[in-house]
Amino acid sequence: MATQHKQIDEQTLENLLYLSRLSPESTDMETLKKQVDEIVGYFDILSKYDDSENPYDAYPTTSADQLRDDTVVEGLEMTDVKKVSENFMDGYFQVPKVLGAGA
């Protein structure tokens, strides 16, 4: 790969080492500089492609994002609620105890 892009300078390389928590002693600087230059070259290649089109155009539109109408409907009558369970008392459903010694 021919590298005809902007070369990274020493100060930028030292900043990258600091941000990545690498020490110059533990890293071969020439190899690292070459690798960073190649990565920058990849970004130069990617920047040549047109990305102005909307990425969401590739997906079909759905009606899932449309909300329902906000209309008030009549709820259940108390007599109908009482028919749901035989354990209905004082406006509440009686359920088994889940806390205490059994838990």
Instruction: Compute CA 99 distance to the chain's CA centroid, rounded to the nearest angstrom.
Output: 37
Structure tokens at 34: 């070459």
Please state the rounded mean pLDDT for residues 63-89: 82
pLDDT value at residue 3: 45
Span 17-28, pLDDT tens digits:
888 887 777 778
pTM for the whole structure:
0.41
CB-based contacts of 3: which residues, under 8 Å, 6+ apart? 37, 38, 41
pLDDT value at residue 1: 46
